[in-house]
Amino acid sequence: MNSMTGFGAAAVPFCGASLRVEISGINRKQLECAINLPRPWAELEPQVREYVAKRVSRGRVSIFAVPQSTDGSDKGLLHLHRDKLEALKGRLEEVKTICGRDVQLSVDALLRLGVLTDSVGEAVSPEAVWGEALLPALQRAMEHFLQMRAQEGGNLARDLRTRVAKLHELRAKMLQSAVDVPARYRESLLRRLAEQGLVLGEPDERLAKELALFADKCDVSEEMTRLHSHLQQFEKFISRSDEAVGRPLDFLCQEIFRELNTTGSKANSAELAQLVVTAKTELEKIREQVQNVE
């Protein structure tokens, strides 16, 4: 079982500097990819997206690729394109002749015109960038990312097993409490009749019919059987370390809640009602954890 939360990063040498790729993930119902590449490599986004989709099934995954100098910073990465500068110089001379004055260009203007670029490998084709730098860095970062997700998933699995075991205990108590409800109702009914001066003979058909109807009305054996089955399925999914189990676990949480809700509506004792409330509280904690499971 894997968490949707994780982080991974890696850097590989490229064009006299390095390319660093960072991958981070948070929980989402579906897979979402947010990819941030240097502008000259924007056409590689579909390849990055396809690579991620083969390894991650749920969550919002952010991929950030940035060129860095050899000391790990992004300084000193501006490159001057002399051919573009020479062409621009000729055009500026024409403008000066027409306007009769010099034209001043800012660094921002030079960047927009492509005379200065802040990307390593500006002259390298996207295909070469993919094979030589982006894919290797992405693979290493993804390995670290998946390792962290697996570790987080292991922690979630241990917590969920503890909480499911608590639900098993509460279910056993609910069963025992439900068994005693008809007997307590019979005693209460006979006591109220005696207080009114009405003493029934043994056996009394009317009393037997009333008790039978009451017992059928408050019977939760079917709900407890289904609840036991759901909890067993939940434990099986938790143990599947190589599969995405977030959706089936979320579905099982809904089914468990449904059985608890029905049990609560049938509860004819304060003890059983309190057990149901406690179980729902524990289930809500499980549901919150499941939202982080891939």
Say yes or no: 88 and 220 in one domain. no
Average pLDDT over residues 153-175: 93
Say yes or no: 218 and 286 in one domain. yes
**Tens digit of pLDDT for each residue in 214-262?**
555 667 778 889 999 999 999 999 987 677 899 999 999 999 999 998 8
Say yes or no: 145 and 11 in one domain. yes
User: Structural domain tally of the chain?
Assistant: 3
> Who wins on pLDDT, 34 or 206?
34
- The reply to whether 11 falls in a domain is yes
Predicted confidence (pLDDT) at residue 170 exceeds the cutoff of 70: yes
When the pLDDT of each residue in the chain is averaged and rounded to a whole number, the result is 81
Rounded distance between C-alpha atoms, residue 189 and residue 207, angstroms: 9
Predicted confidence (pLDDT) at residue 71 exceeds the cutoff of 60: no
Say yes or no: 23 and 103 in one domain. no
Q: SS3 of 122, please?
A: coil
- What pLDDT, on the 0 to 100 scale, is given for residue 189? 54
Question: Tokens 């904690």 belong to which residue?
Answer: 285
Rounded distance between C-alpha atoms, residue 77 and residue 69, angstroms: 7
Predicted confidence (pLDDT) at residue 105 exceeds the cutoff of 80: no
Enumerate the β-bridge partners of residue 35: 63
Window from 85-89, 169-173, 254-258 with minimum mean pLDDT: 85-89
- The reply to whether 215 falls in a domain is yes
Rounded distance between C-alpha atoms, residue 129 and residue 212, angstroms: 78
> Who wins on pLDDT, 26 or 212?
26
Nearest alpha carbon to residue 289 among 108, 166, 131: 166
Say yes or no: 68 and 113 in one domain. no
Say yes or no: 177 and 250 in one domain. yes
Among residues 67, 96, 117, the one where a domain terminates is: 117
CB-count burial class (<10 Å; 0-12, 13-18, 19+) for 81: middle
- Supply 223's token pair: 């709900």
- The reply to whether 106 falls in a domain is yes
> The dihedral of CA 211, 217, 218, 221: what is its sign?
positive
Confidence of residue 70 (pLDDT cuts 50, 70, 90): low
Confidence of residue 10 (pLDDT cuts 50, 70, 90): very high
- The reply to whether 1 falls in a domain is no
Q: Which domain holds residue 100?
A: 79-117
Among residues 134, 149, 164, the one where a domain terminates is: 149
> Who wins on pLDDT, 84 or 123?
84
- The reply to whether 135 falls in a domain is yes
- The reply to whether 136 falls in a domain is yes
Rounded distance between C-alpha atoms, residue 55 and residue 139, angstroms: 11
> Who wins on pLDDT, 83 or 165?
165
Say yes or no: 144 and 160 in one domain. no
- What pLDDT, on the 0 to 100 scale, is given for residue 76? 44
Number of H helices, E strands in the chain: 9, 6
Residue 134 vs residues 14, 51, 63: alpha-carbon distances, Å: 9, 11, 11
Say yes or no: 97 and 140 in one domain. no
Say yes or no: 130 and 167 in one domain. no
> Who wins on pLDDT, 168 or 267?
168
Nearest alpha carbon to residue 283 among 122, 163, 194: 163
Instruction: Give the count of alpha carbons within 13 A of 57, CB side only.
Output: 12
Average pLDDT over residues 166-179: 87
Predicted confidence (pLDDT) at residue 120 exceeds the cutoff of 90: no
Average pLDDT over residues 100-111: 69
Q: SS3 of 137, please?
A: helix
- What pLDDT, on the 0 to 100 scale, is given for residue 53? 94
Question: Beta-carbon neighbour count of residue 67 at 10 Å?
Answer: 21
> Who wins on pLDDT, 268 or 260?
260
- The reply to whether 132 falls in a domain is yes
Predicted confidence (pLDDT) at residue 208 exceeds the cutoff of 60: no
Rounded distance between C-alpha atoms, residue 33 and residue 52, angstroms: 8
**Helices 135-195, 221-238: crossing angle, 10 deg rounding:** 160
E strands in 111-197: 116-117
- The reply to whether 214 falls in a domain is yes
Predicted confidence (pLDDT) at residue 141 exceeds the cutoff of 90: yes
Say yes or no: 167 and 130 in one domain. no
Say yes or no: 140 and 231 in one domain. no
Percent of the chain with pLDDT over 70: 75
> Who wins on pLDDT, 135 or 204?
135
Q: What is the CATH number of the domain that holds 222?
A: 1.20.140
Residue 143 vs residues 9, 241, 274, 276: alpha-carbon distances, Å: 9, 16, 47, 43
Q: Which amino acid, 268?
A: N
Say yes or no: 165 and 268 in one domain. yes
Average pLDDT over residues 34-49: 89
